[in-house]
Each structure stands twice: as C-alpha cells, then as structure tokens.
Amino acid sequence: MEYSLFCHHFYALSVSPVKKKLGLLFIMLLLWVYMLYSCVGYCATMPPSLVVDNNNNNRAKETDFLGKYAEAESGRPDLMMSKLLSRPQSSWTDVESDYDEPAVRRAPRDFSKDEADADRAEEWDDGRRVSPLSSFSNGSGNKKMPQAIIIGVKKGGTRALLEFLRVHPDIRAVGAEPHFFDRNYDNGLDWYRDLMPKTLEGQITMEKTPSYFVTREAPARIYAMSRNTKLIVVVRDPVTRAISDYTQTLSKKPDIPTFESLTFKNRTTGLIDTSWSAIQIGIYAKHLDNWLQFFPMSQILFVSGERLISDPAGELGRVQDFLGLKRIITDKHFYFNQTKGFPCLKKAEGSSKPHCLGKTKGRTHPNIDPEVVQRLRDFYRPFNMKFYQMTGHNFGWD
C-alpha cells in the first residue's frame, strides 16, 4: 500500500505541468548560453578595423638592384635593423605602397589598387559561413604573435595557399591582410597581436601580407618581433605575374594605358620601365637579398605558384613539413574546377560543401603583344638565374 502511494505521488510530480515548464525553460537557458558563448568566441577572432599609415612619402629610386647595406656586409645586422626600424622608407622596394596614394606617388604610373581591398571584399562562391562548432572552439585559447607569415608575392597565389592551409586543424590564420610590418607598424605589437585569432597549445598562428616581400623595413621588423618566425613566399613566373597584376588593375580602372605602353620607358629602344610596380615585384633576387640579411634560407620556404595549381597537395605537403605539422591536407581535399582553371577545396574550413575562390581570382588575361612578352622574358632571365642560385631551386620560368 505504501509502495503504491509513493508511486502515485512520483507519477503526479513527473507529469506536473509546472515541472514540464521548468524543464523546458532550463533547456532554453542552456541553448541561450551556448549561442551567446559561440557568438563571443567568433567575435573574439575578428580583427578590429585596420588603420592605414600613409606617412611614407618621398621614395628614392634605388639603382643597385643586388646591393647590400654596409652594416650587413660588415657582419652587423643589428645596426641595419635599428636603422630600418626607425627610419622612413627610402627604397623603391616597397613597391606595393604605390597603391595607397596614387595622387602623391608617381601619379602618372600608379594605376594599381591595393590587393588587400580585393581580399577584404572577396568571398567564397557560396558565401561560406563559420560553423557553430568552430565558433564555439574559437572562444578558448590565447592570442599569440604569428609563428609563420606568408610574405609574398602579390598575384602569386597567396590567397589560395592561405585558404588551403586553413583546412588544417593546427593552423589558425587571420583572413584580412594586417599590413602591420609595412603600413601599420606604428600601432605597436599589442595592436598586431590583437588581430590574431585565438589558438590552443600546439596550434600555429599565421597571417599573410604579400607586400612584405618587397618592403625594405619588413625583414628587420619581423626579426625584431621573433627571429624564429618562419616565412613563406609564393613565387610565380614574373612575366605571367606582371600580366596578372595588370589584369587586376584593369578590372577596376578600364581606362588605364595598355600593358605594352606601361612596360617600356622607350618602346623603340626596348628599355624596360622598372619604376612600374608590376615589373619591380618580379625581380625576386633583389627582394630576397634583403631578407637574407636577417633570416637564414632554412627559415624561408618558396612555394611554386604554378605547382600550387597543377599539384596543390604536393605543395601543401611541403608547407606542412616546413611548419612541422602532420600531413593532413592531401589529394582528397581538392578537385580541379575546369571553369575557373584552378583547384578548389572539396571541404573548406567551417563548411561541408565544396568551395572555390571568388570571382576576383582566375580572371582572363588580356592579349599581350608576343614581342613584349619576349622582351620581358629577356629582361627577367638574369634575375631569375640569380634567384635559382640563391634558392637552390629551378622554377622553370625560362
């Protein structure tokens, strides 16, 4: 009898409307807390607005393409670093800064717009979203200085490489280009660190800003942050790269002069105009010489932009080895998009669907006079040979 009475009371409580409402409210509260935490985690990984420093004026043209600073030659890179960290830029090697103020710097020649603008506006074809699970995990960990940086080159395939690498669970990267070591250095390292996503123990923080490779001060500044930073450079046939650079600018400013007219100082004599940034960037040996004053070749990995298209898994394998990570990104992550003409991800970060880079990538190049192309190949050949010697790798551009 007592047992039956106990069961009756227990049953009455279990089906009580009050209990049901309390249980429902408890579940809703848990869901609300989860959603709030996820949103906080996601927002914590978003960089604040980038502040562009436009104080680097009065560029002086440098004529010694492969010269070195006297301090470096005398075995005192610390002296050169202190000068580079404090002084305003004085070399044409920061060619990407041309895109900041075309009305101020070489106004007749500055037709390009900064690649970062395209990157900030660029979206994946289907408007990729970050999954709630990824957002939830983003709320933990700490913000750290990047241990690896993709420093170049513009129109070489840096955006594709970064998005491919973000598939790896042990890599966390900033989406937008911080431009810290070339434009925003006065904002300080704390500002820079705050741009970084949170990482857990064992994860690598990365960023990419292609203009670093051609910025004179960048090596000294990165060295001052951490001499152990690993550097990645995506390089591409400099002639094809220059045409791609021009194509991007042409898409934004259709009224610019032809590629042929911009290439030469004098078409009759065939003198190449190295004041044009599209030409300057491709003199890789010149820019690399600057970096080798601070970093050994063992800390710099050169990724072939051509192989990144023809064999993305192979190049990504080299990058993962260089970063000391397990080879998780393999052939199974890629498929070749015939329409775009380059590989795409079967599954991108935070999504279960295939993804390709947006419409700003893979533009059709304009037809360029074959004679101009050959003149450019002749111009770049000695610089390419020097670059092959410096890196110990023949990229097959000639």
pLDDT digits (tens, 9 = 90+) for 186-228: 999 999 999 999 999 999 999 999 999 999 999 999 999 999 9
Residue carrying the six token digits 């020649």: 109
Mean pLDDT computed over every residue of the chain:
77
CA 273 to chain centre: 27
Q: What are the extents of the domains in the chain?
A: 143-391
pLDDT at 256 over 50: yes
Which helix (H) or strand (E) is 151 found in, with range? strand 148-152
pLDDT, one tens digit per residue, over 132-141 is: 434 444 568 9
User: How confident is the model over 156-177, as a mean pLDDT?
Assistant: 96
Binding-site members are: 155-159, 236, 244, 361-365
The whole-model pTM stands at 0.70
Q: Please report the pLDDT score of residue 270 as a whole number.
A: 87
Class of the domain covering 143-391: alpha beta
The catalytically annotated residue of 61, 143, 155, 353 is 155
Q: Please report the pLDDT score of residue 170 as a whole number.
A: 98
* Confidence at 366, pLDDT banded by 50, 70, 90: confident
* Confidence at 20, pLDDT banded by 50, 70, 90: confident
DSSP 209: -
Q: Is 116 helix (H, G, I), strand (E, B) or coil?
A: helix
pLDDT at 62 over 50: no
pLDDT at 241 over 80: yes
Phi, psi of 127 (to 5 degrees): 65, 60
CA 129 to chain centre: 20
**Catalytic status, residue 155:** yes
pLDDT, one tens digit per residue, over 67-95 is: 443 344 334 444 444 444 444 343 333 34
Q: Please report the pLDDT score of residue 30 as a whole number.
A: 79
Binding-site members for 3'-phosphoadenylyl sulfate are: 155-159, 236, 244, 361-365
- Burial (Cβ within 10 Å: 0-12, 13-18, ≥19) of residue 71: middle
Distance (Å, whole) CA 166 – CA 251:
28
* Confidence at 362, pLDDT banded by 50, 70, 90: low
Higher-confidence position of 398 and 345: 345
225 in Cβ contact with 168 (< 8 Å): no
150 DSSP β-pair partners:
208, 232
